[in-house]
Structure 1
Amino acid sequence: MTASWKKGLGTVASIGMIGALLAGCGTNGTTGNASTGGNASATSGKPVVGGSITLDMSQAVPDLDPAIAFDTTSAEVDYAVYEQLVTYDKGTYNIVGDLAQSWDVSPDGKTYTFHLRKGVKFSNGDPLKASDFVFELERLLDKNLQPKPSPGSQFFMDITGAQAYYNGQAKTISGVSTPDDYTLVIHLDKPEQFFLKILAMPFLSAVDPTYVKQVGNAAMDTTNAMGTGPFELQTNNQNQVVLVKNPHYWKKDSNGTQLPYLDKVTINVNNNGQLAAMHWEQGQTAFMSPWLEGGDGIPSSQYPTIMNSPKYKNLVMKQDMNAVFYYGLNTAPTIDGKANPLSNVNVRKAIEYGFDDSQIVKLNNGAVKGLNQPLPDSMEGYVKNLAPSAQYSYNVAKAKQLLAKAGYANGFTMDLWNENTEGAQKQDQAFQAMMKQIGITVNLHEVTWKDFLSKSMSGTAQAFGSGWNQDYPDASDFLNTLFNSNQIPQNNMDNYSNPQVDQWLNQAEYSTNQQQRDQLYGKVINQVMSDAVWVPLYQNVGYYCVQPWVHGFYTSPVMYDPFATIWVDPGH
C-alpha cells in the first residue's frame, strides 16, 4: 500500500515526513471495528512492575518539542513524555480528563474552565501550574519561535486574543487567564464543538517554563524533553530513542500501583521493514504498530507471511484508522496555461465509472477497506446511504458515453502525479490500465515526496494520488479542510470551489448541534461525490503484532501505543 498521507497544514509520509497529526474525540464509546487476536492483549493476573521492552521504528524522531511536533513518529514518543489537559478513555473516542481533573463549559459554548489535578510534577520534580499551559500557548502562537514556529497555531486561532498575539499586536493572550495555580480559563470567539479534541492533541502539552528557558528551544526539539508523562527521555538520536520511567508520575492503576509498569523502553531506528518483521517474529521486539512501522503496521513484504501463519495471525490486533486515500481530480479550467478536460464534470464522472476499486484492494493484499466517500466509515458524519448521483460502479460503457457527451469521444491525455514508492507505482499502473480501457491515456509522474508536495500543493497537478489522516476525529478536519474554497490550493489541491458547499461547511464548523452538523456534512459529501472531485481508493486499517508475553496493550482509533499500561511476563 502507499505509505503517504496528507494531514492538517502539512503532510505525513508514513511515519517519517513532517506533517499534521492527530488529536481527537467524538461521541462513540466503542472502538468501532477494532478487534483483538488471541491473547495478544491479555491481562491475566496482576501486572508485573519492572522490566523493559525493545522496539523497531522506521524513522528517527523529527521533533521532540510538542509545540512543533506534527508527525506520527514524534507523537509516538511525545505522548509517552508529555500530557495534555484532556485525553481519550481507553480504546474509545470518549474525552476524559488528563491533567485537568474536571472542566466546565459556559452555556454559550465559548468559555472553558479547567480544574487541574493537584500534586502533579514534571519528571524533574517541578510542580505543575496552570500558568505552564499559558506559557506553552504563547509558544504555539509565537510566529517567530526558534528554531521554527509551531505548525499547530492554526488550531488555536479562535481563542480570544490569539490572532492579535500571533500578529504581534498584543503582549498577552486576552482570552486566557489563571485565577489560581490550579485553574485555567480559556475563552473562544466562537463556539467549537471540537475544541476538546484540539486540546487532546500534543500541541498544548504541559511544559516546564523554567526548564525550557534553561535548555533552549533548539534542545527541546532535538535532545531534551521535560514533561509530566509516564516516561522521561534518556536518549534521542538518529539511531535510537530510550525512555525510562518517570519517578514522579502521578497516575496509578485500579490497584493503587504507580504507572508505568515498565522501567525502560528502547526504540531502535530501523528503516528495513523486512528486518523489523524478522526481529518481531524472532521475539526480539515487543510489538509492531502503524505508529512504529508506518503504513498499516505490518511491513508489506511480510504481510502475507504473518496473516497466513497459524503461529502469528492470532497475535495480530486490528483497528480501523481514520485515514483515507484517493486520487484527486483538479477542477481548474486551465493548468499551466492549457485547457483542462477534468474541469468538465462529465469527464470526472467518466473516470469514476472507469475505475475498479476492487483491484486496488487486491493490490493491497486485502489489508485495506473499500471507500466510496471522503470520510472513513469509522468517523461520525459518514453517510451510509449516498444519494444515487453520488454513487459509482465499474461501468466501462457508461464511462465512454460520458466522455462522448463531454466532447472527448476519442479520449485525451492526462497527467497523474504521485510519490515514487513501490506501492504507489503499482496502484498508478493499475489506474493507468483502467483509464486506457475507456480511452484516456495517463502519463505517470512519480517523483520524490518533497517534489510531489510542491506540485500538488501548488494546485497545478492535473490528477494526483494522496490521502488524509485525521488531525482530530471530526468531520470538519476532513471536509472543511479538503473542500472549502478558502483552502485552495494548499489543502484543497483539486481547486474545487462550490459556493453552496462553502456555505454548508462554514455553517457546520461552528454549529453546536451535532445532528445539524451531521446533516450539513452529509450534504457536503453527497455534493462533492456528485461533482466527482475525488476517486476514493480505500480507507486504512491498522495491524498491531503483539507478543504473547506483552500485556496491557490495547488499540485506539485516536491514540498512540499505550506505553504506560504495558507490562511483560517475568523473564522478558
Structure 2
Amino acid sequence: MSHVKGEERGKNGMLSTTWKKGLATITSVGLIGVLLVGCGAATSPGNNAGGNAQANAGKPVEGGSITLDTSQAVPDLDPAVAFDTTSAEVDYAIYDQLVTYQKNTYNIVGDLATNWDVSQDGKTYTFHIRKGVKYSNGDPLTAHDFVFELQRLLNKNMQPKPSPGSTFFFDITGAQAYYEGKAKTISGVSTPDDYTLVIHLDKPENFFLKILAMPFLSAVDPKFVQQAGNAAMDTTKAMGTGPFALQTNAQNQVVLVKNKNYWQKDKSGNQLPYLDKITINVNNNGQLSAMHWEQGQTAFLSPWLMGGDGIPSSQYPTIMHTPKYSNLVQKQDMNAIYYYGLNTSPTVDGKKNPLSNPTVRKAIEFAFDDSQIVKLNNGAVKGLNQPLPDSLEGYVKNLDPSAQYSYNPAKAKQLLSQAGYANGFTIDVWNENTDGAKKEDQAFQAMLKQIGITVNLHEVAWKDFLTKSMSGTAQAFGSGWNQDFPDASDFLNTLFSSAQIPQNNMTNYSNPQVDQWLNQAQYSTDVQQRDQLYGKVVNKVMSDAVIVPLYQNVGYYCVQPWVHDFYTSPVMYDPFAYIWIDPGH
C-alpha cells in the first residue's frame, strides 16, 4: 500500500480487507475493501473451465482458463511500490523473489535463489541465483537485476512515486546513505558474478529472509523498466519471471496469460503453470460476485480477491452449517488483530486524560465483554486476549495473571473508584463511519456505560480518522494490524515502541523497559530468547492495559469442486501457479 490504507467494515460488521498490511516503520493499519455478501455451492464449472475432461482426477490437466471476481482494481503493478492485497495477488503471479514460503507453512525456501549461505555473525547473506531463468519476454535473469530493483526501492525520489517499502531494507549496509542521497551505490550489496548476490547487514536480523519474500525485491528486467518507464510499469505493463505474464490491466479487468518461459516444473517434470489464462473482473458488488460463484462462472472466492474473510458474517452460519456449502470451504487463520487503543498521554487536546491512569484502563478491560463482539460477527472471528494472533510465533499461551482480564463489571467499578473516578467520566472514541464500525462502537459504548463511563462517539471518514489517530490525539480509537511478514516484531515494535509515536504507536505508550526488550529482540538470532523477550513485552503491554483486544480474523475460501490443488497459506496469496481445472472431476 502507499503510506497507509484504510480500515473499512462491510455492512455485516466484518472488517474487510483488500489491503496489504502495515509498514513496520512508517505505516499504520492497512485494511480496506468491500465485504462479500453471498456465497453458495456450485454444481458445474461453467463455460470458462477448459482442460481435458477425460483426465484422471489425480493427474494435473494442462490448459484451460478461469475467471475470478475481485472487489478492487489493481492499484500498483510495480512490485517496488505495490503494498496492498489486490496488487500483491496479481504481482505474485507475475514476479518471483529470491525466496518464498513452502506451500502452506512459514518455512522459507528458495525461489530465484537456489540456496544461500549466512555468515556466522548473521550479517552477510550470499545468494546463489538460479541459472537459465528468463523473463516472459525472453531476457535472461542475473544477480544484477536484484541490485537494480533494490536501488529503485531505495530511491526516495523515484517517480511517479517512491517505494513505501524502503525502510524494510534500511539495515542493509549503506542503504540509508543511498536513500538520503549521500552515496551513489549501496555499499552492502555486491555481485561477484552474474549468479551470486551478496547482501551485508549492519546488524543481524532474524526475519531478513521473510522481508525478502515480500514482493518489493522481486526480480525485474532492467532493460524493460528503462524502456517502459516507471509510470507504465505500475499501471499497464509488467515484465517478470513469474508463472504468468500480464496481457491487460484496466480498471474493470485484469488478464494474465501463461508465461511460456517460466522456469518451474512440477514433481513429475511438467511445465508450470497448468492454466493458460486467468481473467479477473473488477466487481465491487459482493452479492453479484457470490452469484457468479454459485452459478459456476468463477473458480473461487478468497479474502485476497474479495476482501474481508471471504464469507460475509451474515452468511457465515448458513454456509458453515450446510454440508453442500461447507464442503467447498477451506479455512485459514489470518495474522490480523483488531483492538481499541487507549491513549496513555497525560493530556489529550489540552484536557486531563483519565486514560493516562493504568488503573482506569484496567477498569475498561474488565468492563469489556469480547463475546459480544464475536456474536456481532456471527462467530466468524476468533477471540483475542493480546496484541498477537495465536497463529504467530511469539504468541503467549499463558499470560501472566496481571495481564489477564475477564468480563467483570463489579471489579471494573471497584477499580474506577480506586482511581478516583467513582462517579465516572466522559471519553471520546474515534472510529470510521461504516455500519460495521458503528455496531462495535455501540456495543463498546454500552459496556462502558454500565460502569459509569460515558462514551462520545466520533465516527468519521477514514481519511479524517487517520489524521486524528495518527496525530496521537484520539483519546480512544478502533484500529487493527495485519502482518507485513510473519514475525512478532512487525506487531509489537510497530504498535508499542516509543520510536513509533504517534504515527503507528497511536496510544502514545512509552516504556523504556519495553523499548529495551523490543530492540534486543529485533536483532537477536536466538529464537528462544526472542520469544521470551516478546513474551515480556506482551505481558507488560497487557498489564498496562494499553489496548482492548477485539478479535483476530479467519480467512474462508469458497472453491469450486473442479478446481484442483488449491491450498491456503498463512502468508502467501492464491496459488495460481499450481492449480488446475478439470470439469469432469
> When the two structures are superposed, what TM-score results if normalisation uses the length of structure 1?
0.94
Alignment of 1:358-397 (within 5 A): 358-397=371-410
Instruction: Give the match's secondary structure for 1:87.
Output: strand
Equivalent residue for 1:247?
260
Which of the numbers 32, 44, 50 marks the counterpart of 1:14? 32
SS in 2 for 1:13: coil
Q: How does 1:159-198 map to 2 (within 5 A)?
A: 159-198=172-211
Q: Distance in 2 between matches of 1:390 and 1:300?
A: 30
Question: 1:30 matched to which residue of 2?
Answer: none
Partner of 2:63: 50
User: What aligned pairs does 1:192-231 form with structure 2 within 5 A after superposition?
Assistant: 192-231=205-244
2:475 to 462, 474, 480: 462
The Cα shift of 1:16 comes to 8.0
User: In structure 1, which of residues 419, 434, 451 is the aligned counterpart of residue 464 of structure 2?
Assistant: 451
Partner residue in 1 for 2:514? 501
Quick check: 411-420 or 377-386, which moved more?
411-420
For 1:24, the equivalent position in structure 2 comes to: none
Whether the 8 Å CA contact 1:211–1:226 is kept in 2: the answer is: yes
Distance in 1 separating the partners of 2:448 and 2:337: 22
| Correspondence for 1:299 | 312
Find the aligned partners of 2:380 and 2:234 in 1 and give their Cα distance: 35
1:325 corresponds to which residue?
Answer: 338
Partner SS for 2:528: helix
Letter in 2 for 1:90: K
Rounded to whole Å, the distance in 2 between the matches of 1:65 and 1:336 is 41
Tell me, in whole angstroms, the C-alpha distance in 2 between the residues paired with 1:182 and 1:528.
46
1:440 aligns with one of 453, 456, 459: 453
Letter in 1 for 2:145: D
Deviation at 1:300, TM superposition (A): 3.6
Q: 1:282 deviation in Å?
A: 1.5
Aligned 8 A contact 2:34 2:286 in 1: no
Cα shift readout 1:160-217 (whole Å, capped 9, x = no counterpart): 0001100101100000000111000000000000000000000000000000010100
User: Which residue pairs with 1:416 in the alignment?
Assistant: 429
Q: CA deviation at 1:485?
A: 0.3
Shift of 1:312: 1.1
CA–CA distance in 1 between the matches of 2:66 and 2:137? 24
Contact 2:57 2:582 in 1 (8 A): no
Work out the CA distance in 2 between the residues paired with 1:302 and 1:269: 22
Please tell me whether the aligned partners of residues 16 and 72 of structure 1 are also in contact (alpha carbons under 8 angstroms): no
Q: Which moved more, 1:354-363 or 1:448-457?
A: 448-457
SS in 2 for 1:563: coil
TM-superposed CA distance for 1:423, in Å, is 1.5
Separation in structure 2 between the aligned mates of residue 550 and residue 118 of structure 1, nearest angstrom? 32
- Residue 36 (structure 1) aligns with: none
Could you tell me whether the CA contact under 8 Å between 2:302 and 2:556 is conserved in 1?
A: yes
Q: Contact 2:16–2:34 (CA<8 Å) still a contact in 1?
A: no
Write the deviation string for residues 318-357 of structure 1: whole angstroms up to 9, x where unpaired. 0111111100101011111111111111110010000000
Determine the C-alpha separation between the residues in 1 that align with 2:583 and 2:290: 24
Counterpart in 1 of 2:39?
none
Q: Which amino acid aligns with 2:520?
A: Q
Alpha-carbon distance between aligned partners in 1 of 2:559 and 2:202, rounded to the nearest angstrom: 45
Query: How does 1:227-306 map onto structure 2 within 5 Å?
Result: 227-306=240-319
Aligned to 2:155: 142
One-letter code aligned to 2:31: A
1:90 aligned to 69, 79, 103, which one?
103
Provide the C-alpha distance between the structure 2 equivalents of 1:126 and 1:571, rounded to a whole number of angstroms. Answer: 38
> Superposed, which structure 2 residues align to 1:532-547 within 5 Å?
532-547=545-560
Q: How does 1:58-137 map to 2 (within 5 A)?
A: 58-137=71-150
Structure 2 gaps, min length 5 = 1-13, 36-44, 46-55
2:309–2:554 contact (8 Å) kept in structure 1:
yes
Answer yes or no: is the 8 Å Cα contact 1:418–1:446 preserved in 2.
yes
* Residues 292-317 of structure 1 deviation map (CA, whole Å, 9 limit, x = unaligned): 11111113443333223332111000
CA distance in 1, matches of 2:428, 2:297: 45
Moved >4 Å (runs of 4+): none
**Counterpart of 2:41?**
none
Aligned to 2:10: none
Aligned to 2:348: 335
* Runs of 5+ unmatched residues, structure 1: 18-39
- Determine the C-alpha separation between the residues in 2 that align with 1:3 and 1:444: 21
Residue 581 of structure 2: aligned partner: 568
Q: How far apart are the structure 2 equivalents of 1:345 and 1:287?
A: 47
Letter aligned with residue 422 of structure 2: A
- Give secondary structure in 1 for the equivalent of 2:395: coil
Amino acid at match of 2:573: Y
- Note if contact 2:424-2:453 (Cα within 8 Å) is conserved in structure 1: yes
Report if the CA contact (8 A) 1:52-1:262 is conserved: yes
- Letter of the 1:230 partner, please give it: P
Aligned to 2:8: none
Query: How far does residue 76 in structure 1 lie from its aligned partner after superposition?
Result: 0.5
TM-fit CA distance, 1:371: 0.4
| AA aligned opposite 2:148 | F
Contact 1:84 1:98 in 2 (8 A): yes
Worse-superposed segment, 128-137 or 294-303:
294-303
Q: Determine the C-alpha separation between the residues in 1 that align with 2:159 and 2:314.
A: 40
Q: CA RMSD in A?
A: 1.5
Tell me, in whole angstroms, the C-alpha distance in 2 between the residues paired with 1:44 and 1:422. Answer: 44
- What residue identity is the alignment partner of 1:137? L
Distance of 1:83 and 1:16 partners within structure 2: 28
| Cα contact 2:313–2:380 (8 A) shared by 1 | no
Check the 8 A contact 1:277/1:298 in 2, yes or no. Answer: no
Residues 307 and 313, structure 1, Cα contact 8 Å, conserved in 2: yes
3-state SS, counterpart of residue 438 of structure 1: coil
Residue number among 517, 521, 525 corresponding to 2:538 in the alignment: 525
Q: 2:524 maps to what in 1?
A: 511
Secondary structure of the 2:383 match is: coil
Give the drift of 1:571: 7.0
**CA positional deviation for 1:281:** 1.4
Q: Name which of structure 1's ranges 357-366 and 308-317 shifts more when overlaid on structure 2.
A: 308-317
Shift, 1:447, TM fit: 1.4
* Partner deviation per Cα, 1:78-108 (whole Å, 9 max, x = no partner): 0000010000101110000000001000000
Which residue type is aligned with residue 141 of structure 1? L
How many Å apart are 1:570 and its aligned residue?
Answer: 4.2
C-alpha offsets along residues 480-518 of structure 1, whole Å, 9 cap, x if unaligned? 111000000111010000000001001111011111110
Q: Which amino acid aligns with 1:377?
A: D
Whether 1:158 aligns to 2:162 is: no
Residue aligning to 1:425: 438
In 2, the alpha carbon distance for the partners of 1:302 and 1:212 equals: 45
Aligned to 1:28: none
Amino acid at match of 1:239: N
Question: 2:416: which partner in 1?
Answer: 403
Counterpart amino acid of residue 188 in structure 1: L
1:29-50 CA-partner distances (Å, limit 9, x unpaired)? xxxxxxxxxxx9xx94210001
1:312 equivalent in structure 2: 325
Verify the 8 A CA contact 2:72 2:283 in the aligned structure 1.
yes
Determine the C-alpha separation between the residues in 1 that align with 2:584 and 2:181. Answer: 57
Q: Does the 8 Å contact 1:16/1:73 carry over to 2?
A: no
The answer to whether the Cα contact below 8 Å between 1:274 and 1:299 also exists between their aligned partners in 2 is: no
Secondary structure, aligned partner of 1:317? strand
Check the 8 A contact 1:262/1:567 in 2, yes or no. Answer: yes
Question: 1:193–1:512: 8 Å Cα contact kept in structure 2?
Answer: yes
